[in-house]
Amino acid sequence: MNENKEFKLEALVEPLCLWYEKEKRSMPWRDDATPYHVWLSEIMLQQTRIEAAKAYYDRFTKCLPDIPSLAAVSEEELLKLWEGLGYYNRARNLKRAASLLVERYDGRLPADYDLLLSLPGIGRYTAGAIASIAYGLAEPAVDGNVLRVTMRYLNCDEDIMKMSVRTKMEKQLRAIMPKDCPGEFNQALMELGEVICIPNGKPLCEECPLSHLCLAHKEGREMELPKKAEKKKRRIEKKTVLVFRQGDRIGIVRRPNQGLLAGMWEFPSKEGHLTMQQVKEYLSETVSCEVTVKRLKSGKHIFSHVEWHMRGYEIILPEGKPQDVVHGLLLCDLSEVQEKYPIPVAFHIFLHQI
């Protein structure tokens, strides 16, 4: 990042803050910006669109209105509240951090950047957001939106995936951010990146309060920036999902407590795509009763590093209590599964076909 461009950043402060004061959107976590609400919203928004996060945020804060209630909730209830948001370690880290806050800080988030950074699940961006928005501390909060805005503004070709680039931008923003309203400044940069200086499409430069200062816009390079290294291709995993049903009950099993979707509930599955005949052969070896097998609509789910391509079958069990159908299989009423057990979104396509 060219050091002689640093002075350019200071020029954006006033027009950016004036624009934000006029145009900022109403958000539930902005309208009641307690430290807990800021923390929760920032964690939810890490991998979730704002509109989708609102409903989860409202439900979550009604059930768990403060840090002590978050610390006390069972993991199963927590994951059920989080169901559909994905990246479930975010929820587990919230609970771990809440437990530490109850133990060490009387159930409150500390007004200290370094102490915030020491909590599970809180990185530099989230610590900066909480510190600035909730406590008025002059700490930057640099996420993808902020990097996109600043790289275009400075016409900078450096790779935003490099930690060194993020660190330099944090340093430069810390030097120029207004000390009387650092939270508003951080949110203004984020907001500009979300609604005006957008990715994967043409930025709305004609509506941007910084277009007259933006170096990339002056040179017609806004579509080229920011630069970032290509991500590795996701690997594809093929699975066969087996939905056991007995009357109004369906069978679920719990995933291991480590790894992807740890501790959540799912339908039993086998690696690879099994044909109807292969499924029947498998069942004849493992189930000691006559069953009916039906093909379900296939599904695909994309995680950050892997894609699941899933073929589904419904296995209808006779009334009674078949023994040893699948190890650990729990037969529950469909309504109970929907209300109580956290089922990953990956399996909802099969859940909705029952």
Cα(321)–Cα(288) distance, integer angstroms: 11
182 cis-preceded (ω within 30 degrees of 0): no
Cα(2)–Cα(155) distance, integer angstroms: 10
Active site positions, annotated = 42
- Exposed e or buried b per residue across 283-305, where buried means at least 16 C-beta atoms within 10 angstroms of its C-beta: beeebeeebeeeebeebebebee
Residue 295, strand partner residues: 313
Tally of CB atoms within 10 A around 43: 22
Cα(32)–Cα(61) distance, integer angstroms: 12
Instruction: Assign 317 to helix, strand or coil.
Output: coil
CB-hemisphere CA count at 13 Å for 149? 29
Give the DSSP letter of residue 3.
Answer: G
**107-115 contacts, C-beta under 8 A, 24 or more apart:** 107/66, 107/67, 107/68, 107/71, 108/35, 108/67, 109/35, 109/36, 109/39, 109/67, 109/134, 111/35, 111/135, 111/137, 113/137, 113/139
**φ, ψ for residue 40, nearest 5 deg:** -60, -45
Give the DSSP H or E segment for 182.
Answer: helix 182-195
Tally of CB atoms within 10 A around 187: 22
Helix ranges, 212-313 (H): 215-218, 276-286
